[in-house]
Copies of this chain bind each other. A is one copy, B any other.
Amino acid sequence: MSTTPAFKRLPRAVREQQMLDAAVRVFSRRGFHAASMDEIADDAGISKPMVYAYLGAKEEVFIACLHREGTRLMEAIAAVVDPDLPPDEQLWRGLRAFFGFVGAHRDGWAVLYRQARGEQPFAGQLAQMRTRMVEVVAGMLGRATAAEGREVPATELDVMAYALVGATESLADWLADHPEADPERTATRMMNVAWLGAAELLRGNTWHPSG
């Protein structure tokens, strides 16, 4: 489809990234509804028709931002998690990468994520990302229990993964609101809250109501 000659491909990709950087800043500042294409073009130092030509209308620009941020986040985590490591080490590395990413992209996380969460059609994209995260965590927990010779029903692993992912997202929001907080320390806290309990469960210990 593109009529851009091959030698222009790199500049085009670079310009697109610059536009996306500008869009993330503007959506972060204004929120999706109040953000204008004028401001995005201004911030990127480019004409508005060019932004439309490269990325499309505001909704498409937002989806492109979400997609890029989401892909970067998943890649940051995938790069450090090695399935051959012990499960707590995998979880620790994943959490450290996750909170490191959020700490380095506070504005982007806070607004893109909060904006996207409730709003159609963006909510669907985010739900997909979360589903993938839950699958990864449930898979890791499943391998960890299998390695200890215990079989845990898939639903239980899913539920545990949902809880861990939810707790992690909640702490990411906290981190985004606390610029003075250290991402690495936040990852350790999440390990403290989540892993100690998960480790008990993986050992087969459970909590029962006393009544």
- Asked if A11 is at the interface (CB within 8 A of a chain B CB), the reply is no
**Shortest distance between the CB of A93 and any CB in chain B (Å):** 9
Contact B188 A171 (CB under 8 A): no
Of A92, A164, A193, chain B has the most CB atoms within 10 Å of the CB of A193
Across-interface contacts of A166 in B (CB, < 8 A):
166-171, 173
**A196-B189 CB under 8 A given contacts A117-B114, A120-B33, A171-B159:** no
Range class of the A interface residue count: 35 or more
Copies in the complex: 2
**Shortest distance between the CB of A206 and any CB in chain B (Å):** 5
CA distance A138 to B193 in the complex (A): 13
Contact B207 A195 (CB under 8 A): yes
**A174-B162 CB under 8 A given contacts A118-B115, A119-B118:** yes
- Asked if A128 is at the interface (CB within 8 A of a chain B CB), the reply is no
Across-interface contacts of A164 in B (CB, < 8 A):
167, 193
- Asked if A74 is at the interface (CB within 8 A of a chain B CB), the reply is no
Contact A170 B174 (CB under 8 A): no
Contact B114 A189 (CB under 8 A): no
Can you report 18 A-B residue pairs in the complex whose CB atoms are below 8 A from each other? Answer: A31-B120, A92-B209, A117-B118, A118-B118, A160-B189, A163-B170, A166-B169, A166-B171, A167-B167, A167-B194, A188-B209, A191-B207, A193-B194, A194-B197, A195-B197, A196-B196, A196-B200, A197-B197
Residues of chain A touching chain B, judged by Cβ–Cβ distance below 8 Å, are: 31, 33, 88-89, 92, 114-120, 122-123, 156, 158-160, 162-171, 173-174, 186, 188-198, 200-201, 205-211
